[in-house]
Structure 1
């Protein structure tokens, strides 16, 4: 399968983009056409998959739940079979985050879809949700908006202004997870509800003070749970579309007239939503209580629309990842002049071998980022700073990045000096391993050449690859004047072998 990290060409009128959201309850796909700088939705697909129902609490997933997911992705894949990989982005959320061995699911899932699937953190999921809602319903200038999204396994809370989130959190309470957690046998009672409400309310207290102090002018709910609750409220004549603090308790009382989840009979409630509506109402009531909400409007947009607009930004000049890494560089006091020298040399080497190694522009972007941040770990300690830097990059919340992208970046930084560990690339899917090793080889050479932090350019630098042999030609006079560099190059011959290459330094 083609590399998933491709940096796309600028969009042309008529181009199609596809966003796939692998939620814990439903899988969604939205296809939009790019016209005159705008996106126009041309197709939507949704299937109830309930992956979260298959979680066993130990990081495993049932064969039935996995098969439902694979069957759905195969159908989605048929619809986007002819779309280039650079115009498709598929993101997995809470359920896949919980898997002990996510690749055991992702590998067959990618084969079924025909495109790469990335996993996003809860906070990145929250950012994309806000982006989708903000584009569908642009907020008023200067006003803050609270967005709540109740998914199958988690609930995201975001406060934003305009198109930018200010606060974003993801808490482990969703409609499927809460139904399973508090009503495992399906039995409903007021005591169970009160106990569950107190438990979730206590968990929501972790954000309530901060969010209420920040404040908002409007509250909006996205996701199928809010749409379903809104529909029920309208059918019961409790509200005219919004969910209110007076309507919600009446809906809950009507729900609790049933003694079992299977017996819930509310007007406007669909059959596929019935098994999980109790958990959804429970989480929403806890949110209303924790944040003292009076009214929640409902948006038709959600994360899938956010993925589309984020993808649009990646095709243009508004790639959030660049800004995020620039902020990291500033925060950790990186020597930007040294980083620029390493970046320039790494990209010069990249250009000389890109055709032979079939490297793409996206790979150049990843190499560029790794060069800019390779010394980020120095903020912790010089000793082992490459390992510290890799930890920071893999485990920080970096807006715009998927887990896979952060893992790739971390692997390059971890391996840019010293020995390349046997487990350095274990987090990456097999299809990215050749690229990771090649980019690592280029970054190592660039860092090595600039170890002395000299500002003077390197004369006549040339790299050629043939059958995994890397011939590196350097100016003889330049090298002879630098005995440390000579020693480093000899050491790099052994290190390159662990990446699968034979380095052959030559003098010109």
Structure 2
């Protein structure tokens, strides 16, 4: 039986796809007694970052290169269920102003959702890949030089302590400092100085944290390590003297296309000088003595997190708990709103085609909707959204983070449809449906009491929700009734109909006021 045949039957096969700035990678693995067993790897050179211009617009040629590789990956992954594949996009799609164009076109030929992640989240995945791949007792610094960015992480065991992503990569630096493979001492100096400037903001905090081992990962550092080993300059760790020796050797050539070195493949020639410059800067600024190479990185980190989620160990749960503690959120109220939101979701789940992931994200939004009280109670929804949009949220990709911020931003008062962002992973009707559920859950728990709500009944269809509330109970809640009337008007402005029959059946005068929107 083939790998792909097994993937659709009984074996726990999973796949991780990394849409990097230099290459696209795919790794297929299986879970064996809670551990990851790698089975198949594919790598395709794409150089997306080369197609990113000064205005951060991705060229049509670069988009087509990426889409062509996704077509190939889609064929290999055809038997896999959606939940068994995770696709991560990094620097270039994180930065490109027209990333949405790429993602829309990718949807038509690649059936798996593409998650664009933050630089810190990328660094976290890289660290997790190394930590799970090779045990080390003590703190270690992990460095990964990518096509558009370089990630730095310090951790102890499986726990990352410091994470940073710097906007310097072997493709972008090759383009700006070593165009067409040109080599000179001046070019090296300018590239190294720019990299050192980019590193300056993190130097103090990283040095203060400290480490006992430095690890390099991925293709650029592997290539540099292989070259210095093949020269016979070292048979183990890489040191700064080896990198400077390699730079001096390269200055004997005018163009990197002339290079014929053991360990240097043709597709790496034009990136050698830029990658070397970045690593020299890292050694000098962080005062690194030795670096060892480990053959694990982002993809392996993604696989291990997928395995954890299958065992119901979701790092996002820990992230939410940390927010609860850090911002001293009223946990009792958060639990009330979350319980009501999820109870409503269960009633309309089939009608609105919502799934477990939607329930999870709605629950997260309900948990932290009041996080902005830490700033001010006036405009709390705006403060909450700002915190969630800009905080480091381990485990969340950029769209999940933006969805949380969006739901919380409009959990009360007016909904500004033009401020709802475009989502590649979530259709607008789903965003609106989740928002309606959160708004109702917040409204219905405004008295902050555990014994307040009667049993709820709801039915739904497209852009419509009917909520049944006991008339004798609602008749006693004049303020809530006024709020629900106002909510009907607010939702009507975004073409959503909220119907509450018992509200219309109240005797004249039962609702004596309407609160301002």
TM-score bracket, normalised by the shorter chain, equals over 0.9
Shift in CA distance, 430/216, structure 1 to aligned 2, threshold 3 Å:
closer
Q: Deviation at 1:183?
A: 2.2
Q: Deviation at 1:257?
A: 1.2
Q: What TM-score do you get using the length of structure 1 for normalisation?
A: 0.94
Residue pairs, 1:271-310, within 5 angstroms: 271-310=266-305
Residues 305-347 of structure 1, C-alpha deviations (whole Å, 9 max, x = no match): 0011111122223211011111112212211111111111111
Residues 161-185 of structure 1, C-alpha deviations (whole Å, 9 max, x = no match): 0011111111111111112222235
For the pair 1:127 / 2:133, whether they are aligned, the reply is: no
Match of 1:191 in 2: 186
Q: Deviation at 1:504?
A: 1.3
Match of 2:24 in 1: 27
Match of 2:134 among 113, 137, 141: 137
Match of 2:50 in 1: 53
Match of 2:146 in 1: 151
Shift in CA distance, 426/202, structure 1 to aligned 2, threshold 3 Å:
closer
Secondary structure of residue in 1 paired with 2:427:
helix
Moved more, 377-386 or 271-280: 377-386
Secondary structure of residue in 2 paired with 1:252:
helix
Secondary structure of residue in 1 paired with 2:192:
helix
Between the two structures, name the one with larger relative contact order (CA 8 Å, sep ≥ 6): 1
Q: Deviation at 1:13?
A: 6.7
The answer as to whether partners of 1:92 and 1:118 remain within 8 angstroms in 2 is yes
Moved more, 450-459 or 248-257: 450-459
Moved more, 12-21 or 395-404: 12-21
Q: What TM-score do you get using the length of structure 2 for normalisation?
A: 0.93
Counterpart CA distance in 2 for 1:86 and 1:396 is: 27
Shift in CA distance, 41/494, structure 1 to aligned 2, threshold 3 Å:
same
Match of 2:164 among 164, 169, 175: 169
Secondary structure of residue in 2 paired with 1:138:
coil
Counterpart CA distance in 1 for 2:103 and 2:197 is: 34
Match of 1:37 in 2: 34
Match of 1:8 in 2: none
RMSD between superposed Cα atoms in Å: 1.7
Match of 1:472 in 2: 467
Match of 1:207 in 2: 202
For the pair 1:88 / 2:49, whether they are aligned, the reply is: no
How many residue pairs match? The answer is 496
For the pair 1:315 / 2:328, whether they are aligned, the reply is: no
Q: Deviation at 1:430?
A: 7.3
Q: Which runs of 5+ in 2 are unaligned?
A: 1-7, 506-517
The answer as to whether partners of 2:153 and 2:163 remain within 8 angstroms in 1 is yes
For the pair 1:70 / 2:67, whether they are aligned, the reply is: yes
The answer as to whether partners of 2:283 and 2:289 remain within 8 angstroms in 1 is yes
Match of 2:349 in 1: 354
Counterpart CA distance in 1 for 2:262 and 2:484 is: 74
Q: Deviation at 1:241?
A: 4.1
Residues 372-417 of structure 1, C-alpha deviations (whole Å, 9 max, x = no match): 1111112222222112211211121111110011011111111211
Q: Deviation at 1:236?
A: 0.8
Shift in CA distance, 98/467, structure 1 to aligned 2, threshold 3 Å:
closer
Counterpart CA distance in 2 for 1:450 and 1:15 is: 42
The answer as to whether partners of 2:417 and 2:494 remain within 8 angstroms in 1 is no
Secondary structure of residue in 2 paired with 1:273:
helix
The answer as to whether partners of 1:233 and 1:241 remain within 8 angstroms in 2 is no
Residue pairs, 1:405-416, within 5 angstroms: 405-416=400-411
